[in-house]
Amino acid sequence: MPLRRCGCTLEEFNFEVPIKVAFERISVLKSCCV
């Protein structure tokens, strides 16, 4: 996922969090790319 390309960062993204939370955060990151 080229998040940086659309100005999103993964600084606060923790890949060790539960899958459900991770997907919610990914949705937030995607929303800032729209």
Residue 4, pLDDT score: 47
Residue 29, pLDDT score: 64
Give the model confidence (pLDDT) of 1-34 as tens digits.
Answer: 444 445 555 555 555 666 677 677 667 666 665 5
pTM for the whole structure:
0.30
The CB density around residue 14, as the number of other CB atoms within 10 Å, is 9
Beta strands, E only, 1-34: none
Question: In angstroms, what is the C-alpha Rg of the chain?
Answer: 9
Spatial distance between the Cα atoms of 33 and 2, rounded to a whole number of angstroms: 10
* Chain length of the chain: 34
Name the phi and psi angles at 5, rounded to 5. Answer: -60, -35
Residue 30, pLDDT score: 66
